[in-house]
Chain A
Amino acid sequence: MTYEVVIGLEIHAQLKTDTKIFCGCSTRFGAAPNSQTCPVCLGMPGVLPVVNKKAVEYAIKAGLSMNCDILMDNRFARKNYFYPDLPMGYQITQFDLPIAQKGYLDITLGNGSKKRIGITRIHMENDAGKSNHDPHRPISLVDLNRAGTPLIEIVSEPDMRSAEEAGAFMRQIHALVRYVGVCDGNMEEGSLRCDANVSLRRPGASQFGTRTEMKNLNSFRNIERAIVSEINRQADILDDGGAIVQETRLWNADEGKSVSMRSKEDAHDYRYFPDPDLLPIIIDEVWLARIKDSIPELPEAKKERYSSELGLSAEDAAVLTSSIELARYFERCLAMINKPKLVANWVMVSLLALINAQNISIDDAPVSPESLAELLALVDTDVISGTMAKTVFEDMAKSGKSPKLIVEEKGLAQVSDTSEIEAIVDRILNENPSEVDAFKGGKTKLMGFFVGQIMRATQGKANPAVVNQLLADKLK
């Protein structure tokens, strides 16, 4: 039987502030357990939270980048539940008055079509600590370094209809939070994590089917795999005439399947109420305007501009804007040599190949955008050929030397002097009389043979255009 798939995502993004959301402790990842704590984030008796203004600013930035309405008067609420890594016995979050709501994102699908996905709300909250359960002894150790790290939770509308759409939405969120600089997007370290609500229904049905919530989706690939797996699981149950149980499921990436974590009956009553220790957050127009001004050009607008102003294809524009680092690299390079297609090709092919091979980030690329621009200028002014440039680029990546220096040291400069090349052309033609006869007899494919011989004789430095022209003249 065929079903319509309904997917909504809940995405937690860790805000990359230097300090925690309600105290001055560092948010650095990977420090010794409980070394980044103070009475406030430890939930000691009598201490009080004070809101980190930077975290609020970042949440607003995220909201604006996702086309949300910002609530000028929003507030924190307490979500009450007991767990050892939740030191106060409640999480400080937002409930009825979140900082941002009613937004949307436009995603582009594989076939090039676009779709708008609604964003219900974005709210701020503090993260919990980490429980480490000892597998050999009946004890658990609690590390509260993460407790109090600022998070935003982005809740989408149930607008996605396939795993592909969910993956595209998550990629878009990932790109955006990095564009506006509020989250490092590191999914492995958990800076960006996602839960997926999945349900199926008969096509045309007006009511949603019973949904399940899938947790522990820590990569784009796992989001899509887990959703596909859940769609199949639910479809099998429905095909057999069964009913879906509302539950939370845990995705196991190693085994490629999910297991039930808890059913609806086990759900907590969180007893939300306004946090009396914190005043409502009042955002004034001046502050909001200043934050708006600080938001950079976002991927959709950039993509549009790359196509319309720079004349790049939609595919190339999409690749170049997929991350802010790549777009920034491209634009810095372009600022020095205004040849959009040439720069785009080199960035997408040579640069991406290089950083993929070395498994590094673009910001750590061994060839700076300025050096690449210098190299491309050499190509553009016929100092070296495109083929030669690839060799130079590899050398630049290894040695860190400037392209000019490499060309000079290795004597790679292209020979465009017609008389110099002509002498070599004549020599090659003289040395290969039978091939010349064959060519003149109609075997025009031999043109490649002559070019190859001449290039070998000049160690590749001869300007191919000049060579071609001379050969054409002489073989007439």
Chain B
Amino acid sequence: MTLYNLSIHDAAERLRKKEISSRELTLSVLERIAKTDTKVKAYITLNEDQALAQADQADQAISKGIARPLTGIPLSIKDLICTQGLLTTCASKILENFVPTYDATVIEKLKAQGAVILGKVNMDEFAMGSTTEHSGFKITANPWNLDHTPGGSSGGSAASVAADMCLGSLGSDTGGSIRQPASHCSVVGLKPTYGRVSRYGLVAFASSLDQIGPLTKNVKDCALMMNAIAGYDPKDSTSVNECVPDFTATLTQSIKGKKIGIPREYFSTEGIDPDVKNSIDQALDTLKSLGAQCVDISLPHTPYAVAAYYVIAPSEASSNLARFDGVKYGIRDMEQTELVDMYKKSRSRGFGLEVQRRIIIGTYALSSGYYDAYYKKASQVRTLIIRDFKAAFESCDILISPVSPSPASIIGQHSEDPLKMYLSDIFTISANMAGIPGLSVPCGFNQMGLPVGLHLMGRHFDEATLLNVAHCFESATDFHTKRPSL
């Protein structure tokens, strides 16, 4: 029996019934990684010894009857979430030797559940990019077609889930970095409401937009992982003390009468791939057949979202990344004798070009004399986007759109055209700007067999409705059962 292809809730069930042990499960996944990751290249760091030790601990807990939903479940972690004693590189050369002395709050929570940490997975450097090509170490391939990217920035997370090299993964989403790779790899990905999950220990890209979330093989697994990681954290001032429901409790509720908003600005966007459009139309038909009602709504400030995002995110990043200066940790150019030269050389050597580009954009936007025209104006646009969503959710329960205008790009295709890469974030960015939750659920494949995802956005702290609608959709379709052949 192969174990690596189990879902979280399947595996948890079998662990509880003692049909399998966590050690067997973990070994099975490690073997899968050994065989498959030479092709996919999702992992930056493998945590084999620790993982097996954690599996043994989990087996003991299970034998004592104190198992929790994620006890003994092998997971991968995006490499910008700090793990105590385990290399955390952010896929950047500047942190190629950085081993944190602390766990991120989400890691503490996973460990408290007895989860098994398999290792750290690839991403665009510091989460800046949407293809995982901007990693300082390796390019991860899409398990569905190795010539294509897995999307990004949480490409390693999505690819490791799709290729059965873990049962679930934690990613982070600043402008679509969980949802877009989930869509491109045919897995489920959720960006929770801003403040729902602690950011403590998540290496910051853009602090006001970043949020950690799960990538999983199905919606129920996503709900289980959310149960584990959500909640107020006194160590993160921006986390919100809002009650956390059991996200699995409402998954199977009927969605009859649920109002689904169709933002007309999204569907009139030029450049939506016809196969993507087709899949979304069919998904809407499925939802209607389940009793949902579609309503036409407007998000009038959509055209300004990408521009405002690409001012705010790089501005915050330019400041957040200042700490990587070669002084305290990470790499330092040892040949320089002058302080400023040491800074310049260490940072030029350590940061990749995309990261440097964004630091320069952000530094410019915050400069004296430009602040009002860029950062301040972008913040005002952000307020208008928040108002758009507030108004929209007065007449609907969730919003639906494609996750990405097109399926996964061919490796190398976007590298020369950053602007095109930025524009492909159009459907996902607004959720980060407004702080609302967004979810990607598999909804089809294009003619080449590349996956397409359906994007659901909901009200602040209403992840439960997104998971409910996504679960009903998933139950009515079979896209999530398909696995890439590797």
Contacts and interface: CB of A to CB of B under 8 A. Distances in A.
B83 to A, nearest CB: 10
Interface stretch (B53-61, B366-374, B445-453): B366-374
Contact of A45 (B203, B315, B337, B368): B203
Contact of B322 (A48, A82, A278): A82
- Residue from A39, A47, A87 with most neighbouring chain B CB atoms (10 Å): A47
- Interface residues of B: mostly helix, strand, loop or mixed? loop
B237 A279 contact: yes
A269 interface: yes
Interface in A41-91: 42-51, 78, 80, 82, 84, 87-90
Contacts of B204: 46, 277
A442 interface: no
B237 A90 contact: no
A134 to B, nearest CB: 13
Interface stretch (B97-105, B278-286, B298-306, B478-486): B97-105
Contacts of A138: 337
B219 interface: no
Contacts of B371: 271-273
Interface in A249-297: 269-273, 276-279
B281 to A, nearest CB: 38
B175 to A, nearest CB: 15
A146 to B, nearest CB: 15
B319 A89 contact: yes
B237 A278 contact: yes
A82 B343 contact: yes
Nearest to A88: B323
A50 B234 contact: yes
Given A51-B237, A82-B325, A44 B366 contact: no
Interface in B315-344: 315-316, 318-319, 321-325, 327-329, 337, 339, 343
Contacts of B102: 39, 44, 47
B90 interface: yes
A142 interface: yes
A276 B208 contact: yes
Contacts of A39: 100-102
A46 B368 CA distance: 27
B203 A46 contact: yes
A45 B343 contact: no
Contacts of B100: 39, 44-46
Nearest to B236: A48
B237 A45 contact: no
A229 B272 CA distance: 72
A277 B339 contact: no
B82 to A, nearest CB: 5
Given A269-B368, A276-B316, A89 B323 contact: yes
B202 interface: yes
Interface string B182-214: 000000000000000001111110111000000
B88 A45 contact: yes
A45 B367 CA distance: 24
Contacts of B43: none
B293 interface: no
Interface residues of A, number: 30
B363 interface: yes
B235 interface: yes
Nearest to B195: A279
- Residue from A46, A87, A88 with most neighbouring chain B CB atoms (10 Å): A46
- Residue from B100, B199, B235, B319 with most neighbouring chain A CB atoms (10 Å): B319
A42 B319 contact: no
A142 B326 CA distance: 13
B123 interface: no
B309 interface: no
B398 interface: no
B90 A45 contact: yes
A44 B325 CA distance: 12
B238 interface: yes
A357 B267 CA distance: 85
Given A42-B328, A80-B322, A88-B323, A271 B367 contact: yes
A90 B319 contact: yes
Contacts of B339: 84
A78 B371 CA distance: 13
Interface string A18-50: 000000000000000000000100111111111
Contacts of B238: 48, 276-279
A262 to B, nearest CB: 14
A89 B202 contact: no
B8 interface: no
Contacts of B319: 78, 80, 89-90, 271, 273
B247 interface: no
B473 interface: no
A44 B87 CA distance: 14
A142 B202 CA distance: 26
Interface of B: 80-82, 88, 90, 95, 98, 100-102, 104, 199-204, 206-208, 234-238, 315-316, 318-319, 321-325, 327-329, 337, 339, 343, 363, 366-368, 371, 375
Given A80-B319, A138-B337, A272-B371, 6 more contacts: A42-B328, A44-B101, A46-B82, A47-B200, A270-B368, A271-B363
The 9 closest A-B pairs by CB, nearest first: A89-B322, A271-B366, A276-B207, A276-B208, A45-B203, A46-B203, A46-B201, A46-B82, A43-B323
22 contacts: A44-B329, A45-B90, A45-B95, A46-B80, A47-B201, A50-B234, A50-B235, A50-B236, A80-B319, A80-B322, A82-B325, A84-B339, A270-B368, A271-B366, A271-B368, A271-B371, A273-B371, A273-B375, A276-B208, A276-B316, A278-B237, A279-B238
